Structure 1
Amino acid sequence: MRLRLLEATVELLVERGFSGTSTTLVSERAGVSRGAQLHHFPTKNDLVVAAVEHLTELRGLELEQALGRLPRGRGRTQAVVRVLGDHFSSPVFVAALELWVAARTDELLLAAVAPLEQRVGRETHRLTVEALGVDESRPGSRELVQATLDLVRGLGLADTITDDARRRARILDHWAAVLDRELEATR
């Protein structure tokens, strides 16, 4: 029942945003009584904080699995960058984005979201370093990884307004070529 409530919360965050997500809608979507929902999550913030934790786990697992399936060798950088681009334009990212925006003006939500997002950021950085085979002790390498993550996050944000997958693919492919050259220079 708890998992159904969390999944319903994430779905509603994607569909309706934070302000359009209510505990009543969540319990209806999850197919549980309002009393059962209140037993697990007495307030909307309790529910959303639990959903943030659930999202954190989902996002990390999804990214790790996707990167783990990539072949080694030629074209790896492009494949990694594309996986990151897909990750940051997924519904899970959209739900997380809704929470970031809501947390900006809600101190209680911010207190829950900020540490989780820091953990997600560190883990995403670590996975990207591993996937690209980057030696961060080399000058400029860490910055290249972070620039890559900032780029895909920004493209994911832009994707929430308009789906421009072709443009995004061109940008990511171009960045992958630049990244390959720059990383080679740091090796």
Structure 2
Amino acid sequence: MQAVGVRALQDTEVGCLAEVYLGRQEEKSEQTKAKLLAAAHDLLVEEGYHRTSTAAVCRRAGIARGTMLHHYPNKDALVIAAMEDNMTRQATAFMKTIRFDKGTTIKEIIYDVFDVMCGRSFIAGIEIAIASRTEPALGKMYGVAMDRFEEQIAWIVKMTFPKWQVDYDKLRCVTGLVMRSLVGLAMDVVILNRSREDAQVYLDMLLHWIQLDNAEMGKGRGCK
């Protein structure tokens, strides 16, 4: 009986040690991926898609290429993961700025999203979008990633403005149109070096249209 008890105790100790070991390995794995994603994102911004290689990413991250391949099988998987990771962190940070109790305005959301699109992360996305034209596999992954990001933004808008929940299909449609408009304006600023003041005129027109459409929300006029 005593031997059985000792064996059970030993098994428990081994199990606990295994859990600790696996926990540390998982933590180490997440740290490795974070370094790779940060390095890939920075290189996309600084060098562009075609000059960003897995070897360069590994050098900057200080990670062996074999380790990188364990997490990301190829360059496309790595750069898409880097873009998605950045967009997810932006959406999370954006959520923290919304005042659900005091009332965040449509204007504030539009301006906040536009500010994000005029930053470094948007440049990385542009590089991937342009490369997708001649890289079909990359294009498919990019499309899925952008759909997920747009869904995140639509959910944020839905939670911020409860009355828009009556027609979620229309909300998705409006969100998609607004996001595509903001992408175009951001490209003017980021690529063509046009001023934010130039974009302001179009942002105001976009806001005016949204406010008009908002007045129609709930009347069953879905976006077809």
TM tier relative to shorter chain: 0.7 to 0.9
Query: 1:44 is matched with which residue?
Result: 75
| Offset, 1:49 | 3.7
TM-score by length of 2: 0.67
Query: 1:118 is matched with which residue?
Result: 147
| Offset, 1:22 | 1.7
Q: Which of 139, 147, 155 is the aligned partner of 2:177?
A: 147
| Offset, 1:120 | 1.5
Determine if contact 1:139/1:186 at 8 Å carries over to the other structure.
Answer: no
Measured in 2, the distance between the counterparts of 1:38 and 1:141 equals 40
Measured in 2, the distance between the counterparts of 1:48 and 1:141 equals 30
Q: Which of 146, 152, 158 is the aligned partner of 1:129?
A: 158
Measured in 1, the distance between the counterparts of 2:184 and 2:85 equals 23
The 5-angstrom pairing of residues 3-82 of structure 1 reads 3-34=34-65, 36-37=67-68, 40-41=71-72, 43-67=74-98, 71-72=102-103, 76-82=105-111
RMSD: 3.1
Deviations 1:142-179 (A, max 9, x none): 54433322211211222221142112233223432342
Structure 1: any 5+ residue segments left out of the alignment? Answer: none
Question: How high is the sequence identity, in percent, across the aligned residues?
Answer: 23
Query: 2:129 is matched with which residue?
Result: 100
Structure 2: any 5+ residue segments left out of the alignment? Answer: 1-31, 219-224
Deviations 1:5-53 (A, max 9, x none): 1101011111221012122322232234555545544532342243244
* SS at structure 2 position matched to 1:171: helix
Query: 2:198 is matched with which residue?
Result: 167
Question: Which amino acid in 1 is paired with 2:112?
Answer: V
Measured in 2, the distance between the counterparts of 1:167 and 1:153 equals 15
Measured in 2, the distance between the counterparts of 1:4 and 1:99 equals 19
Question: Which amino acid in 1 is paired with 2:120?
Answer: P
| Offset, 1:136 | 5.0
| Offset, 1:109 | 1.8
Cα 1:71–1:121 shift into 2, 3 Å:
same
Measured in 1, the distance between the counterparts of 2:127 and 2:208 equals 32
Aligned pair count?
Answer: 185
Measured in 1, the distance between the counterparts of 2:198 and 2:102 equals 25
Measured in 1, the distance between the counterparts of 2:137 and 2:209 equals 41
TM-score by length of 1: 0.78
Measured in 1, the distance between the counterparts of 2:122 and 2:48 equals 12
Q: Which has the larger radius of gyration?
A: 2
